[in-house]
């Protein structure tokens, strides 16, 4: 028997098309052969044709079953993919429109994702922040201490109240408190990612 095959939707479509074409081709060849008595020597016709016919019928049945299973799997996969896409969109919108500034960096502090509140806080367009080192948004004299603390985050799994100063374009520096959580095994390189949430500190605090 042909084993059950798990495919992504596009691959399943290709496989279904291939199986359908092959099945139709086998059927056509079988029909032509069985209707052509001169295709085999006369003495072999009565022995060979029934055997060949049985083999062809069996093969066609196998292909038909595989084709039907692929159709079913493809339908399930398409439904699952639509569900996953809807969930991704849902949580993406939750992140994007969260009221608190939030963003994601790699373990070296390179920004990969920024929500609208964070982009507004940084006074920069979100697409201009992608790939930018977070330390570039800090005053020069604070960058070395920042790097040292950043290097400890994966070991400490994060920090709850990290005070820092943001140097924004065309504005005075802004004091913030960062809550950072390290998640291993995720991110663009699989080395882990840092999830940040910022809170503006009132100058009177």
Query: Could you tell me the pTM of the whole model?
Result: 0.62
Percentages (nearest 5) of helix, strand, coil residues in the chain = 55, 20, 25
110 DSSP assignment: B
What digits encode the pLDDT tens for the residues 142-171?
999 999 999 999 988 889 999 999 988 777
Higher pLDDT, 195 or 9: 195
Q: What is the pLDDT of residue 177?
A: 95
Kindly state the tokens that stand for 68: 């039907």
Q: What is the pLDDT of residue 114?
A: 96
What's the count of helices (H) and strands (E) in the chain, helices before strands? 5, 5
Q: What sign for the dihedral angle of Cα 125, 130, 135, 136?
A: negative
- Among 17-21, 99-103, 111-115, 178-182, the minimum mean pLDDT is found in 17-21
**Helices of type H across 97-195:** 116-122, 126-129, 143-156
pLDDT confidence of 75, banded at 50, 70, 90? confident
The owner of tokens 């960062």 is 178
What digits encode the pLDDT tens for the residues 49-68?
566 666 667 677 777 777 78
Q: What is the pLDDT of residue 6?
A: 45
């Amino acid at each position: 028997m042909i084993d059950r095959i798990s495919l992504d939707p596009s691959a399943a479509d290709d496989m279904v098309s291939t199986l359908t074409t092959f099945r139709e081709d086998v059927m056509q060849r079988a029909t032509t052969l069985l209707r052509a008595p001169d295709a085999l020597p006369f003495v072999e016709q009565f022995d060979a044709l029934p055997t060949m016919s049985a083999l062809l019928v069996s093969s066609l049945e196998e292909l038909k079953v595989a084709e039907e299973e692929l159709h079913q799997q493809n339908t399930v996969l398409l439904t699952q993919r639509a569900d996953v896409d809807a969930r991704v969109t849902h949580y993406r919108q939750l992140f994007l429109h969260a009221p608190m500034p939030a963003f994601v960096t790699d373990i070296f502090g390179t920004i990969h994702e920024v929500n609208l509140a964070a982009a507004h806080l940084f006074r920069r367009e979100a697409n201009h922040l992608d790939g930018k080192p977070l330390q570039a948004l800090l005053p020069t004299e604070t960058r070395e201490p920042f790097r040292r603390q950043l290097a400890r985050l994966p070991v400490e799994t994060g920090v709850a109240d990290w005070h820092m100063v943001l140097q924004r374009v065309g504005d005075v520096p802004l004091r913030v408190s960062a809550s950072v959580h390290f998640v291993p095994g995720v991110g663009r390189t699989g080395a882990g990612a840092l999830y940040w949430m910022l809170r503006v500190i009132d100058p009177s605090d």
